[in-house]
Structure formats: structure tokens, C-alpha cells
Structure 1
Amino acid sequence: MSITNNTAPEKKNIWPKLITFSLILLVIFIAVSLLPRSFSQDLSAIGQGTNVVVLVHDGNILQSTDTMVAMNAVRDDFEERVAFIVADINTPEGKRFADSHGFGQAALAFFAANGDRLQVLYSEQTGESLRQHLNTVFNINLISSD
């Protein structure tokens, strides 16, 4: 005597899973889009026709990190006229660059479009102080977009 089950298998509704998956992807996309953009580390851009600012960065020094924050604050206003580059002193390339130019940690070096070094700063920068230096050194005269 066998018993047969004549009930049809239950249809699983995939919509809740699909909506949950979509929401997770949306949250990840928003989180990634809010992350700050990284800075170029391509030091070969110096002398290639664009004004360049290079931060000799050491993540262990607060002054260096604060200057990087200042660079990020003004980058959108100046990015068509100035290339912002970070030379991480904890990498072979960054260390070689700093040593070859005689730069210490947290140096902020301004290079003309032809590669000439115009100025080097070792003081901590804020967004406003960096904006003033960029305007003065490169003769740009942009005002704050805030």
C-alpha cells in the first residue's frame, strides 16, 4: 500500500530575494561612490606639459595625512590645470623620488609644466592655504567653489 502525494510542489517566490540582492548591490555602489578618489602615483607626469603638485606621503605622519585631505578638498577646482600626485615614501618608487630630489617626509613640491621645481613646502596645509599656494605658485587665481 503506497501513499502518493498529489499536491503540486510549492512555487517559491524569488521576488523577495531579488529585491534584497538589488538593495545590497545599491548600498555597495553608493558606499564605493562616496569613497575619496585615489591620487595618481605616476611621477612620470612631471615635465610633461602640466603643472604638478607632488606630496611625499608617509601615512604615519599626521601632517602628511592632513595635507592629503587638503589636496582632496581643492582637487576638483584645479584638476584641469594641475596634476595632483602622491609619492608614498614607503614604496620603492616614492622613496627613490624623495631621495633623488632631497625631499623629506610630508614635502609638498610644486613643479612647472616643463618640470622645473618651483616651490617646496613642509608645513601642514589646509584646503584654503593650499588653494592660496596653488593660485600664487601657478598664477591661476581661482577662487573657492564653496
Structure 2
Amino acid sequence: MHSISCLGASDGASMTAFVAALPVPPGDSVASSSVFLPRYENGSSRLAVSKPSWIVRTESNVRREKMKRPDPPCVVCDGSGRIDCHYCRGRGRTNCLDLIMLPKGEWPKWCKVCGGSGLGHCNRCLGTGEFRDVMGFHFMTNNRDST
């Protein structure tokens, strides 16, 4: 039975010595297997995956869908539905808003309105990105539908 107490420095020589000290079952060589997994003397793997949910499978030719821009887009947010937070001016922090970077040793005080993202919902389109007229009474404009 082999036992290794400490792995020393992280150079290549000590790593090679560590791998060489791991037990390999008889009849199974390191060169024969494409992926080396440390094993116990009975042949079972030390690095066994106990839960199949840990295995991630990917499929080829799967593309992420791009978000379509609404037609016509909102004139305020340009169709994204998000604008700079009014409280932190889009910085995500509430201290030293006039500076791009904080001074050395200064920690940010995160904005509680936007959660530090610096973004808020557009007030004109209510976050949808679609064009909407200005909300309110339109008694000064001529109604184009009635002639």
C-alpha cells in the first residue's frame, strides 16, 4: 500500500514523481490507457463520478438564439429595454460617481436600486424595447384618424 503525505513544490519533477508513486493495478500500464485515472489496488477508480447529473453533454450545431430587435425600436433605449440607472448614473456604485475608477484603497458602495449592474428598465417602453408614444394626454396634437 502506497501513501503520499504531501506534494511538495509545484514543478514538473515533483508532479512526475507524484504520478509515478500512484498505484497502478497489475497488467494495466499508464501508457496503455489514453486517460490516466489513479486507481486502488482492486482496480476501482479513485475519481469515480457518483452522480450522472454531473456529466455535461453538448450537441453540435446548436446555436444561441439572438434576441431580435423590435421594429420599430424604442427611441430612448434603442430597443434594448434597459437604460443607465438614474441613481448611480450607470456606474453600479454610489460613491465617487464623478471618477471612472475608484481611488486606491476605496471599496465600492454598490447601488441598491440596480443591484450594482448599472442598468434599469426604460421608462418609455417599460423594458420591452418596442416603440411607444409619450405617455400622457395628447390634447394638443391633431388626431390623424379623424378627418
**TM-score, scaled to structure 2:** 0.20
> Who wins on radius of gyration, i.e. which is larger?
2
**TM-score, scaled to structure 1:** 0.20
Higher strand residue share = 1
Structure with the larger RCO, 1 or 2 (CA within 8 Å, 6+ apart): 1
